[in-house]
Structure 1
Amino acid sequence: MSDSLKKTSAGMRLRRYFLTGLIVVAPLAITAWLTWTFVLWVDGWVKPYLPKAYNPDSYLPFGVPGYGLLVALVALTIVGFLTASLVGRTVLGFGESLLNRMPLVRVVYRGLKQIFETVLAEQNNSFKRAALIEYPRKGLWSIVFVATETRGEVDARMPQQETISVFLPTTPNPTSGFLLFVPRSDVIFLDMSVEEAAKMVISAGLVAPEYPKKMPAETPGAPAAPALAKDTPPRNDLTGT
């Protein structure tokens, strides 16, 4: 082997080692940085409002990162506990009645409240399944997140067929997309989870969950491939049964 080939192979190995290290370290470093930034951001909001007697930064020679986040979590839990009582619901209702009288503020408040209730409510079944639909034209397929069965006036105005509401995310930002009302018969439900589907959308298809490969097409004159046991067909409903 010539010296030039040895140098080329050594350079390729170094490049492969560098990329492998980058793949391992970069996600860990970015996750740690985002977590640390979020903790410091919450501390910066909460700590200035704490009395000095309850703020360890006022009498310790060093700062205590995460203390503000811990206080915020405890305070939110207490607020939720108080709101669940009769007195708390009364106070909350009075506060919302005041906000509803403010033309611009009430629109922002109602929108944010509806978003948080939809995303965080434990009894809500939104975005529990991933599916495929033909979009933007026949023959092209897109990943969607199944929301719920179509309801209200939209359901009443639709043709006499069962439809479901789906969210079509965009790449690489799955938080934006389109709300579509699709006939149930046109939806192919997937076995992959919503998280796996989101990773596939964000990575533009580069990251895909493992799944049994399709059988290769048979070559004319070649012996037929042995038959494989049929998998259980995927569940085709919203309830997962």
Structure 2
Amino acid sequence: MKKHLITGLLIWVPLVITVWVLHTVINTLDQSLLLIPSQWHPDTLLGFHVWGLGTALAFLAVLVTGMIASNLLGQRLVRLWEHALGRIPVVRQIYTSVKQVSDTLLGPSGQAFRKAVLVEYPRQGSWTIAFVTGHPSGELQCHLPDDMVNVYVPTTPNPTSGFFLMMPRSAMRELEMPVDAALKHIISMGSLANDDSGSGAHPSGTDGVTTQPTTTT
């Protein structure tokens, strides 16, 4: 009975969680219909509620916005919009901070979470997977040695929380595995075999990795 129960849970738990997440996301995006005037509301025009219509409209709005912002006129409108928001005292700090984070994570020129690496953490001889997020800048760059790298060390099984570290590039080892494969390895606490990790170099090898990290005092 225990074996059959566990087998049933392994089938139903991923399915239920997937349906719950999709249901929550779609219901949240459907709230975008509240921005439409009541006389033009789809529920009023059709006489019944179409589940998921708000999600489709939100996706279409984001797509059209991206298409408009990709041309020269759209880029000028975006700059004017950002300049107007930058003149509002409280909104300026919030919008600027959120935009910097979104540009770093989602922008095509951003380098955050584009490379998985191995770092010794939390002590020497203990290795974990981390993600390169950039390089120290500003005042930090003046107080740190050259060739320092920002890395994010996620926790398991929830990678949305973790630790931010600045360390020399020589103290890390670059991995060939894709970022999504590294995330699966972290979320599964290392229980999922990773067969698509590129060259599959061993930490003690030299293919695709940096030199052996050194200990400094």
TM-score w.r.t. the length of structure 1 is 0.71
Q: How many residues align?
A: 204
Q: Note the alpha carbon deviations across 1:136-161, whole angstroms, 9 max, x for none.
A: 221222221122344454344323x5
Task: Measure the CA separation in 2 of the matches of 1:94 and 1:208.
Answer: 50
Measured after TM superposition, the shift of residue 178 of structure 1 is 2.2
Task: Measure the CA separation in 2 of the matches of 1:191 and 1:81.
Answer: 34
User: Does 1:168 pair with 2:168?
Assistant: no
Q: Note the alpha carbon deviations across 1:34-81, whole angstroms, 9 max, x for none.
A: 1122111111x2223335676442244542111111111222222233
Task: Measure the CA separation in 1 of the matches of 2:77 and 2:54.
Answer: 26
Measured after TM superposition, the shift of residue 191 of structure 1 is 3.3
Task: Measure the CA separation in 1 of the matches of 2:71 and 2:175.
Answer: 42
Residue aligning to 2:185: 200
TM-score w.r.t. the length of structure 2 is 0.78
Q: Structure 1: which 5+ residue stretches go unaligned?
A: 1-13, 213-230
User: Does 1:130 pair with 2:120?
Assistant: no
Task: Measure the CA separation in 2 of the matches of 1:165 and 1:236.
Answer: 16
Task: Measure the CA separation in 1 of the matches of 2:99 and 2:22.
Answer: 25
User: Does 1:17 pair with 2:4?
Assistant: yes
The amino acid that maps onto 2:172 is V
Residue aligning to 2:214: none
Report the structure number with the largest CA radius of gyration: 1
The root-mean-square deviation of aligned C-alpha atoms, in Å, is 2.9
Among 127, 130, 140, the alignment partner of 1:154 is 140
Measured after TM superposition, the shift of residue 27 of structure 1 is 1.0
Residue aligning to 2:200: none
Task: Measure the CA separation in 2 of the matches of 1:188 and 1:63.
Answer: 54
When structure 1 is superposed on structure 2, of 174-183 and 147-156 the one drifting more is 147-156
Task: Measure the CA separation in 2 of the matches of 1:232 and 1:182.
Answer: 20
Q: Structure 2: which 5+ residue stretches go unaligned?
A: 198-204, 212-217
Measured after TM superposition, the shift of residue 108 of structure 1 is 0.9
Task: Measure the CA separation in 1 of the matches of 2:107 and 2:186.
Answer: 25
Alignment of 1:57-206 (within 5 A): 57-60=43-46, 62-159=48-145, 161-206=146-191
Q: Note the alpha carbon deviations across 1:10-41, whole angstroms, 9 max, x for none.
A: xxxx2112212211221122111111221111
Among 39, 46, 57, the alignment partner of 2:32 is 46
- Say which SS state the counterpart of residue 149 (structure 2) adopts: strand
Residue aligning to 1:4: none
Measured after TM superposition, the shift of residue 211 of structure 1 is 8.1
Task: Measure the CA separation in 2 of the matches of 1:107 and 1:140.
Answer: 39
Q: Note the alpha carbon deviations across 1:187-232, whole angstroms, 9 max, x for none.
A: 12223322222233333333342489xxxxxxxxxxxxxxxxxx98
Indicate conservation of the 8 Å contact 1:199/1:208, yes or no: no
Task: Measure the CA separation in 2 of the matches of 1:133 and 1:48.
Answer: 48
Among 26, 29, 37, the alignment partner of 2:24 is 37
Task: Measure the CA separation in 2 of the matches of 1:162 and 1:110.
Answer: 28
Amino-acid identity (%):
36
Q: 1:56/1:96 Cα in 2 relative to 1: closer, same or farther (>3 Å)?
A: closer
Task: Measure the CA separation in 2 of the matches of 1:89 and 1:234.
Answer: 39
The amino acid that maps onto 1:193 is P
Alignment of 1:191-230 (within 5 A): 191-210=176-195
The amino acid that maps onto 2:166 is F
The amino acid that maps onto 2:148 is T
